[in-house]
Every structure is written in C-alpha cells, then in structure tokens.
C-alpha cells in the first residue's frame, strides 16, 4: 500500500501543472456546492426559527368584557393547532411599546387615552405551522365575535416555503451538475497522466505487473485530488464566510437570525464526497483505458 | 496446471503459427526447450525470431497451435493469469526498455515490488544483483546518464532479480560494442550456470560459436533446424 501511495505522490509531483488544474477545478466545485449547502442549511434553520416564533395576534374590540374575554380564550384554545394563548391587556401593550420606543417617549406624553386594544397572542404547535394552516386558523379566529382583527407577521412564510423548496431542487440539480463536471475533469486528467506514462506502464506489464498493481496508484491519486481539492474549497469558503461576518457584523446576525458555518460532520461529509468524485473519475477513466 | 519436472521440457510449442493479416510471421512451429538449456534463435531479418519470443510471454497471441510454458497452456490462460506467466520470465530487449524517470535501483526493484516482496528483501536483492552486473555504484543514476552497455547491464539485472525460470533476450547485444556485448553474454552464461533456461535471439555468430548451446534456425517463419553446437 505504501508503495502505491509513494507512486501516486510521485506521479502528482511529476505532472504538477495538470494536477494543479484538476485540484483547483475540484476546489471550485466544492466551493460552489458547499456555499449552496451553507445557504440552505442556514436558510432552513432561520425558517425553522421563524416558524417557532410564529405568533398570531388577535385584537379585541374595545368593548369586550371580562367574561367574553375568557370565552374567546377558551374557543381559541379548542382550535386545531393551537399550543398556547396569552392575553395581553392594553396597559401591558402600552408599557411594552413605551419600552421599545424609549427614544420617542415624548410621543406618549400627550396621550389622554390608551389607544391600544386588548389582544391575544396565539402560539401554534410547531408541526401545524404550515402556511395553509396558519391562514386557516387566522380566519377561524377572525370569525369569533368581539375579535376585531387578526394579524400574523409571517404571512409570507407559506409562500417563501414553496419558493425555498423550489430553490432547494435547483440547488440539488446544480450540485449534481458540478459533481458530474468534477468527475469528468478527474477522468480526463487520469487519462492524460496514464498516456504520459504509457511507456512505463507497458514495461511494467511486460515484467509481470497485474492490472491492480497498475491501477492502484491512480485510484490513490484520485482520492488525493478529492481530499486536497475539497479541503481547499472549504477553506476558501470559510475565509469568505469569516470575511463577510466580520465586515457585515451586526447586520449579519441578529436576535432572530443566526448564521453559522457548516458543522464538522457536514465538512467531513463534503470532503468524503469530494474524494468519491476523485475515485469515480479514476474508475471511469481506467475502465475504458485498460479495456483498449 | 502442472509444473514441469526435471525431465520434461519447460517450453513446448505445438504447430504454432502467427499471422498478421495475410502475412505469416510464424508457420507451423513445433519444438521443445528443456530446463536449463541455453538456446540461440538465429535467422535472417523477418524470419520470425522476435515473434517467437513475443509469443512465449504472450506479448502477442498465437493464431494457431498451442504453447505450454512450465505447464501453463497459453491458449487457456485467463487475463488475470498473464502477469503470473510473465513473472516466470526475465526479459531483455535490444533497446533496454528501462524506465527513464526511475533510477537504476528503482528500475530493478520494480520487479520485486510487483511480486510483493518486503522492502528489506528488495534492498538486499537489488544491491546483490547490481553488484553481480557491476552497476552497484551507479544505482542512483538515471538510465539516460548511462552508456548502452551499462543500460543493458541494468536490464540484465532487472531480468534476473526475480529469479525467473526463463530468460528471454531479444538481440541483447544488437546496439553494443564488442566489449560490452561480451560482458552481457558472460552475464547470461553466469545466470545460466545457476539453473536458469536462457533463450537468446541474436545475429551475432561469433558469440554463438563462443557460447555454445543449441541453435534454432528460422527462415521465413519456419523452423529450419534445431541443432546443438
């Protein structure tokens, strides 16, 4: 095994330019695919966070009395998909608003009357948080008497989910295309290296080398291309990620939006896939060459 | 598969022919070569000498007939067994066929690496063989920095390092001066005395006379004579 590894390394060093091009191609493919993965992983997490924070606000009519408030609460709790209902009194709402708008507190000095209504904050069971279900629940709540208005800030979430699914499909297609392109590039490189060593291979065949002895270093080369190309692609992605996150700063993350780099597990999986790309390229190339 | 015993021939050809299109390179050749024989294959250009040699290690297939090498029937051999067959041979070419990007040492060592030998054994055997052929001091040189005679000596070392049963030499002295040619022949004789069957294709009648042994004479692809000098 060590002999094959040494031969593979020697081959790579002997055809530096060709192998550098191949490794850079793999690195670029890995970079683009990993960037897509990074986007989708984080977008998925953000969407899941937003879904968890989905709140429906049901604003009550100003003359809603205490008993009817309890009735409304019970009715809402009975509805399908509702996890929790919290009553927010108009006074509580005003206090919260004043805290949020501390710098504009002078606005409230001239208020004679609290203009804010009583409201219910309704949280849904996470599994029920589909766009359609949220809309349906909102319309059901709106039908309850003494409920003046129903609002939910993530009205657009349902539409975005569908777009996100479409983007994911496109992402998969792009990944598949880059995967194929990288495999073909490696196959071509191995073919060129093989032909450049044709004389040597012919000689070692004559002295008794088996197909396995001849092929093994090429397979190892393919794995090395994949490993190094994958590592470079991911390193480049990480550098860009750090650059963006350090320069964009607070705008990049906020209380509700946290963007993380890929986990160690995902990084290892990407490197492994990259090595499989290298190995597959060799397989395709050598199968054809040794047949002829 | 049966290995040949002391009394049976190590190479047997039965009505072997080889055609390239309409051209007959070999026509109905039947002959036996015994173990530990020193055999010359002689004849004019185009007689089929190199073709005969190529057939023995399956460098080219036969068109008709059967070839048995140390009990292995070449017409029934699978692709996977071809390397096993070739390891029975040590082959020396007129143009040396050394790998230009490998050192003298590595050119010889490759045979043992192919056989799966351990590094320590490889080091020992390669040095020993290079010493025998007088090339130990040039083991780190590359073939292109060597003379023709030196390259051929390395080729001889590569041919014998794996302790083959048969040495095939195709015009081993064809591109060499008389002095170098004599050195090569002496080496072949030396390895022959150690029990290896040696088959040499050559035009060099002087060396044939000097070396002795059996002479197989081919003409226009046919076996004309097979005589011991």
What tens digit of pLDDT does each residue of B154-189 get?
999 999 999 999 999 999 988 888 888 888 888 998
Please determine, for residue A163, whether its predicted confidence score (pLDDT) is greater than 90: no
Nearest CA in chain B to A291: B79
Nearest residue, CB atoms, A208 vs list B86, B97, B102? B86
pLDDT tier, B1 (very low <50, low <70, confident <90, very high otherwise) = very low
The reported pLDDT for the residue numbered B51 is: 93
Nearest CA in chain A to B95: A203
Query: pTM for the full model?
Result: 0.72
The reported pLDDT for the residue numbered B41 is: 93
Cβ–Cβ gap B83/A204 under 8 Å: no
Mean of the per-residue pLDDT values of chain A:
83
What tens digit of pLDDT does each residue of A213-262 get?
999 998 999 999 999 999 999 999 999 988 887 776 544 444 445 677 88
pLDDT tier, A44 (very low <50, low <70, confident <90, very high otherwise) = confident
The reported pLDDT for the residue numbered A53 is: 63
Mean of the per-residue pLDDT values of chain B:
89
Rank A96-110, A153-167, B9-23 by mean pLDDT and report only the highest: B9-23
- Nearest CA to CA, how far is A287 from chain B (Å)? 15
CA A71 to chain CA mean position, Å: 43
Q: How far apart are the first and last CA of chain A?
A: 26
What tens digit of pLDDT does each residue of A20-37 get?
988 998 899 899 889 988
Q: How many CA atoms lie within 13 A of A56 on its CB side?
A: 29
User: Which of the 8 DSSP states describes residue B44?
Assistant: S
Which residues in B have their CB inside 8 Å of a CB on A?
57, 59, 79-80, 83-84, 86-87, 89, 91, 97-99, 101-102, 110-111, 113-115, 158, 162
Cβ–Cβ gap A208/B91 under 8 Å: no
What tens digit of pLDDT does each residue of B121-140 get?
999 999 999 999 999 999 99
CB A47 within 8 A of CB A157: yes
What CA–CA distance (Å, rounded) separates B41 from B29?
13
Please determine, for residue A173, whether its predicted confidence score (pLDDT) is greater than 60: yes
The reported pLDDT for the residue numbered B2 is: 46
Of A21-35, A74-88, A118-132, B49-63, which gets the smallest average pLDDT? A118-132
Nearest residue, CB atoms, B114 vs list A199, A200, A207? A207
Tell me: ipTM over 0.95.
no
pLDDT tier, B33 (very low <50, low <70, confident <90, very high otherwise) = very high
Please determine, for residue A154, whether its predicted confidence score (pLDDT) is greater than 70: no
Of A162-176, B28-42, B73-87, B186-200, which gets the smallest average pLDDT? A162-176
Mean pLDDT of the A186-212 span: 89
Helix (H) or strand (E) holding B205: helix B205-211
Please determine, for residue B218, whether its predicted confidence score (pLDDT) is greater than 70: yes
Please determine, for residue B228, whether its predicted confidence score (pLDDT) is greater than 50: yes
The reported pLDDT for the residue numbered A204 is: 92
Taking alpha carbons only, the member of B139, B209, B205, B217 closest to residue B173 is B205
The reported pLDDT for the residue numbered A271 is: 93
pLDDT tier, A10 (very low <50, low <70, confident <90, very high otherwise) = confident
pLDDT tier, B153 (very low <50, low <70, confident <90, very high otherwise) = very high
Cβ contacts of residue A177 below 8 Å, gap of 6+?
none
Select from B114, B157, B160 the residue whose CB has the most chain A CBs within 10 Å, as the one to mutate to test that interface.
Answer: B114
Q: How many CA atoms lie within 13 A of B201 on its CB side?
A: 23
Using a CB-CB distance cutoff of 8 angstroms, which residues of chain B are in contact with residue A210? 80, 83, 114
The reported pLDDT for the residue numbered A255 is: 47
**If you compute the radius of gyration of chain B from its CA atoms, what whole number of angstroms results?**
17
The reported pLDDT for the residue numbered A251 is: 44
pLDDT tier, A292 (very low <50, low <70, confident <90, very high otherwise) = low
Using a CB-CB distance cutoff of 8 angstroms, which residues of chain A are in contact with residue B79? 211
Mean pLDDT of the B191-208 span: 87
The reported pLDDT for the residue numbered B113 is: 93
Using a CB-CB distance cutoff of 8 angstroms, which residues of chain B are in contact with residue A200? 99, 101-102
- Nearest CA to CA, how far is B224 from chain A (Å)? 29
Please determine, for residue A50, whether its predicted confidence score (pLDDT) is greater than 80: no
Nearest CA in chain A to B117: A3
Nearest residue, CB atoms, B91 vs list A206, A209, A211? A206
Nearest residue, CB atoms, B99 vs list A203, A205, A213? A203
The reported pLDDT for the residue numbered B4 is: 47
pLDDT tier, A14 (very low <50, low <70, confident <90, very high otherwise) = confident
Of A45-49, A85-89, B196-200, which gets the smallest average pLDDT? A45-49
């Amino acid at each position: 095994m060590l002999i094959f590894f040494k031969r593979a390394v020697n081959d790579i060093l002997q055809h530096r330019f060709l192998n550098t091009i191949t490794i850079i191609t793999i690195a670029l493919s890995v970079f683009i695919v990993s960037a897509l993965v990074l986007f989708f992983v984080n977008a998925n997490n953000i969407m899941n966070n937003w879904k968890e924070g989905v709140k429906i606000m049901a604003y009550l009519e100003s003359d809603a009395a205490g008993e009817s408030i309890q009735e409304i609460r019970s009715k809402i709790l009975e509805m399908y998909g509702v996890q929790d209902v919290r009553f927010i009194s108009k006074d509580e709402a005003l206090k919260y608003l004043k805290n949020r708008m501390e710098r504009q507190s002078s606005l409230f000095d001239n208020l004679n009357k609290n203009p804010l209504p009583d409201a219910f904050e309704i949280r849904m069971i996470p599994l029920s948080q589909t766009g359609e279900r949220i809309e349906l629940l909102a319309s059901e709540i709106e039908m309850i008497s003494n409920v003046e208005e129903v609002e939910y800030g993530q009205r657009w979430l349902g539409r975005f989910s569908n777009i996100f699914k479409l983007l994911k499909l496109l992402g998969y297609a792009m990944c598949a295309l880059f995967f194929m392109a990288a495999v073909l590039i490696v196959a071509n490189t191995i073919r060129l290296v093989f032909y450049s060593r044709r004389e040597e291979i012919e000689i070692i065949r004559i002295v008794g080398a088996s197909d396995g002895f001849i092929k093994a270093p090429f397979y190892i080369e393919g794995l090395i291309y994949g490993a190094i190309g994958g590592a470079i692609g991911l390193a480049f992605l990480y550098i860009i990620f750090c650059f963006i996150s350090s320069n964009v700063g607070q705008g990049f993350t906020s209380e509700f939006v946290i963007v993380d780099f890929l986990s160690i597990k995902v990084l290892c999986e990407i490197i492994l896939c990259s090595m499989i790309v290298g190995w597959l390229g060799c397989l395709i190339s050598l199968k054809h060459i040794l047949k002829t | 598969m049966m290995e040949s015993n002391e009394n049976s021939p190590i190479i047997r050809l039965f009505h072997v022919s080889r055609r390239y299109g309409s051209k007959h390179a070999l026509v109905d050749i039947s002959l036996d070569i015994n173990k530990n024989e020193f055999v010359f294959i002689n004849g004019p250009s185009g007689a089929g000498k190199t073709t005969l040699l190529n057939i023995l290690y399956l460098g080219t297939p036969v068109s008709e007939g059967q070839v048995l090498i140390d009990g292995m029937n070449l017409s029934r051999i699978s692709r996977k067994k071809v390397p096993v067959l070739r390891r029975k041979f040590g082959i020396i070419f007129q143009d040396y066929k050394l790998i230009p990007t490998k050192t003298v040492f590595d050119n010889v060592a490759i045979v043992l690496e192919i056989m799966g030998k351990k590094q320590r054994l490889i080091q020992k055997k390669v040095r020993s063989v290079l010493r025998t052929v007088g090339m130990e001091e040039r083991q780190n040189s590359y073939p292109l920095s060597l003379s023709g005679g030196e390259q051929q000596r390395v080729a001889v070392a590569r041919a014998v390092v794996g302790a083959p049963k048969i040495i095939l030499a195709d015009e081993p002295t064809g591109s060499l001066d008389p002095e170098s040619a004599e050195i090569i022949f002496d080496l072949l004789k030396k390895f022959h005395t150690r029990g290896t069957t040696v088959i040499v294709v050559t035009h060099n009648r002087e060396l044939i006379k000097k070396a002795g042994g059996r002479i197989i004479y081919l003409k226009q692809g046919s076996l004309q004579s097979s005589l011991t000098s």
